[in-house]
């Protein structure tokens, strides 16, 4: 099956989106995947000969059945861009993950109203109270929270959803065997039926620092809008806001005191055109 061939390829090239896109443009069904030689991979993908040989070796030394067995043992499902339940909004972004790995409630992918919530890992008490008060009414209106499982605002947003018996999606920056931070995942486990973990990296891939900015495009891509609760001027949250703008998503920012360092990023977003939000109604009037 072409989905399984795509999975096999992805377990080697998960962090090389452009290479996979080039190969799929050449062979949309991946029917030639196992007939290409290292030299052909090298020419087709502009790869050094040693990298082309690594790809060839991976495809011919590991089997799809072995990969499927490992995923099953880890309790992980995989989802390709060719699956019917691949999130429609995510397909609209310029570089949707060709394969997603999931753990938990797969049905949450089809929830029609998803809102991303991001912010600093070290929020002030003002920031915590602000995002909690905004989320109360969004969650009552059956919105699903998407975030990145990081310390701070991410975990506060996930927890707020679960405490109201709502679903939440956490997008990881590495494979499920290396969930970071682990203690945040443990907090979510007791609500397992309302949680979905997603990653574009196979389970045994360790997180790398450049994976986290890449995963931000998935957080925003899954969602109708992104709420930035607190953020410094240079932060991953602002990267997510940039991704949202590129994806034609709504960007909302919670204003903060001018003396607060973690409010400087959100205040700057408002200056640049993000919608200032002080309550759920400000978000709902844009997204309903």
Confidence (pLDDT) at 208: 85
Q: What is the mean pLDDT of residues 181-210?
A: 88
CB neighbours of 74 closer than 8 A, spacing ≥ 6?
103, 176, 177, 203
Confidence (pLDDT) at 140: 95
Q: Using the predicted structure, report yes or no on whether residue 37 has a pLDDT greater than 90.
A: yes
Q: Is 258 exposed, middle or buried (0-12, 13-18, 19+ CB in 10 A)?
A: exposed
Q: How confident is the model at residue 212 (pLDDT cuts 50, 70, 90)?
A: confident
For the stretch 130-170, pLDDT in tens is 999 999 999 999 999 999 999 999 999 999 999 999 999 99
Q: How confident is the model at residue 3 (pLDDT cuts 50, 70, 90)?
A: very high
Residues 129/133/136/141 CA torsion (nearest 10 deg)? -140
Q: What is the mean pLDDT of residues 220-237?
A: 94
Q: What is the mean pLDDT of residues 92-104?
A: 96
Q: Which residues pair with 145 in a beta bridge?
A: 115, 168
Mean of the per-residue pLDDT values for the chain?
Answer: 94
Answer whether the bond into residue 119 is a cis peptide, omega within 30°.
no
How many residues are there in the chain? 288
Confidence (pLDDT) at 7: 98
Confidence (pLDDT) at 182: 81
Q: Using the predicted structure, report yes or no on whether residue 269 has a pLDDT greater than 90.
A: yes
Contact status, residue 222 vs residue 199, Cβ threshold 8 Å: no
Q: Is 9 exposed, middle or buried (0-12, 13-18, 19+ CB in 10 A)?
A: buried
Q: Using the predicted structure, report yes or no on whether residue 188 has a pLDDT greater than 90.
A: no
- The Cα–Cα gap between 77 and 82 comes to 14
Q: How confident is the model at residue 283 (pLDDT cuts 50, 70, 90)?
A: very high
Contact status, residue 221 vs residue 271, Cβ threshold 8 Å: no
For the stretch 40-94, pLDDT in tens is 999 999 999 999 999 999 999 999 999 999 999 999 999 999 999 999 999 999 9
Confidence (pLDDT) at 97: 97
What share of the chain in percent tops pLDDT 90? Answer: 88
Confidence (pLDDT) at 134: 96
What is the value of pTM for the model shown?
0.95
């Amino acid at each position: 099956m072409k989905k399984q061939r795509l999975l096999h390829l992805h377990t080697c090239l998960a962090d090389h989106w452009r290479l996979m896109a080039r190969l799929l443009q050449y062979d949309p069904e991946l029917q030639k995947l196992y007939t290409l030689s290292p030299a052909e991979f090298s020419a087709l993908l502009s790869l050094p000969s040693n990298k082309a040989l690594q790809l060839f070796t991976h495809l011919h030394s590991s089997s799809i059945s072995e990969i499927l067995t490992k995923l099953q043992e880890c309790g992980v499902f995989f989802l390709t861009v060719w699956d019917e339940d691949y999130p429609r909004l995510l397909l609209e972004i310029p570089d949707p993950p060709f394969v997603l790995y999931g753990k938990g409630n797969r049905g949450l992918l089809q929830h029609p109203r998803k809102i991303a919530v991001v912010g600093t890992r070290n929020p002030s008490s003002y920031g915590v109270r602000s995002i909690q008060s905004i989320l109360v009414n969004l969650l009552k209106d059956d919105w699903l929270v998407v975030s990145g499982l990081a310390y701070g605002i991410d975990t506060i947003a996930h927890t707020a959803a679960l405490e109201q018996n709502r679903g939440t999606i956490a997008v990881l920056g590495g494979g499920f065997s290396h969930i970071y931070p682990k203690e945040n995942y443990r907090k979510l486990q007791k609500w397992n039926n309302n949680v979905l973990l997603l990653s574009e990296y196979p389970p045994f891939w360790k997180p790398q620092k450049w994976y986290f900015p890449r995963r931000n495009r998935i957080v925003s891509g899954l969602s109708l809008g992104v709420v930035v609760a607190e953020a410094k001027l240079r932060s991953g949250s602002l990267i997510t806001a940039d991704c949202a703008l590129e994806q034609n998503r709504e960007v909302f920012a919670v204003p903060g005191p001018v003396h607060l360092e973690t409010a400087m990023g959100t205040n700057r977003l408002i200056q640049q055109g993000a919608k200032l939000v002080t309550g759920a109604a400000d978000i709902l009037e844009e997204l309903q």
